[in-house]
Amino acid sequence: MESQRNISEFILLGLSCNQNIQIFCFIFFLFCYVSILVGNLLILVSILCSGLFYQPMYYFLNHLSFMDICYTSCVIPKLIGDLLLVRKTISYDNCMLQVFSLHFLGMIEIFILTVMAFDRYAAICKPLHYMIIMNRTRCNLLVLAAWVGGAVHSFSQFSMIICLPFCGPNEINHYYCDIFPLLKVACTDTYVTGVLVVANSGMVALVTFVLLFGSHVVILFTLRNYSAEGRRKALSTCESHITVVILFFGPSIFAYLRPPTTFPEDKIFALFYTIIAPMFNPLIYTLRNTEMKKAMRRVWYQRIFSEDKHN
């Protein structure tokens, strides 16, 4: 492998060369990362310490929150640190690790969002058989399938990138190591590799989005037979899921389902699925979810009161 490359690090060009913009981005992304950590940890603790953990929807939401923390931690800490540096570098090994981790965790998140859509479909369209369909064994198998699917996807992407020779330019026009910017600096013809990346990542994102869209169309069609109160309650959970799907899948489809090249807008769209969507996930799933808000109040009020009594 060493004979295929003579570079030990890549230079990340980041989001902007303007120092004032970098300072603003540092403050903004630090706020985003703290919000992601606090919001998702609140969801994790609230679900684990309440009876919601035994309900399939919140069981999957628990895994989604954990994935959000892991996924964003692959990008944001490095981005925040780089905003304070003049020369932004990342070693070859860390760059490859970042590519693998982002695709692994990102694909798990995509599959969990798909499983959550299936859960809503079963709850609304098959209410009498819901607990049989979504029993705990099946829920565990679906989460395991998401992890296996993420591993298969990431290994296939990683195997294509790790075999590329890097022997000349090492400047990546991005704020993290992504596949298309790496293809651009490889010392070989990467057209076939780019097509395979599009066929893999792009088609997975598109097919998953179509399945999610189709499931929600069926759900909305089924809701015609519900009462006004039943429709309102069902739509509140579906709207939250649809919002998260649009924020995550819209930019992802643009990033990967296209000719294998880079565009100036790539970094802006990447911000949505690496930072913005994960930051809004806790807000979307808590502010629009009555059960989640009740559980959070109950868990955290009990903790506060127990500490007061102890003191």
What span, in angstroms and rounded, lies between the C-alpha atoms of 64 and 207?
20
**Structure confidence at residue 142 (pLDDT):** 94
The domains of the chain are located at 9-308
The domain 9-308 belongs to what CATH superfamily? Answer: Rhodopsin 7-helix transmembrane proteins (1.20.1070.10)
Which CA distances in Å does 213 have to 114, 115, 236, 272? 10, 13, 16, 19
Structure tokens at 7: 């570079």
Q: What is the reported pLDDT for 304? A: 57
Its pTM stands at 0.85
Neighbours of 6 (CB within 10 A): 12
Report the chain's mean pLDDT, rounded to a whole number.
83
Averaged pLDDT in 10-residue chunks for the chain of 311 residues: 66 85 92 92 85 85 92 93 88 92 91 88 85 91 94 90 84 87 85 82 81 82 73 69 76 71 75 86 73 71 58 54
Question: In the prediction, which pLDDT does 230 show?
Answer: 67
**pLDDT score at 288:** 64
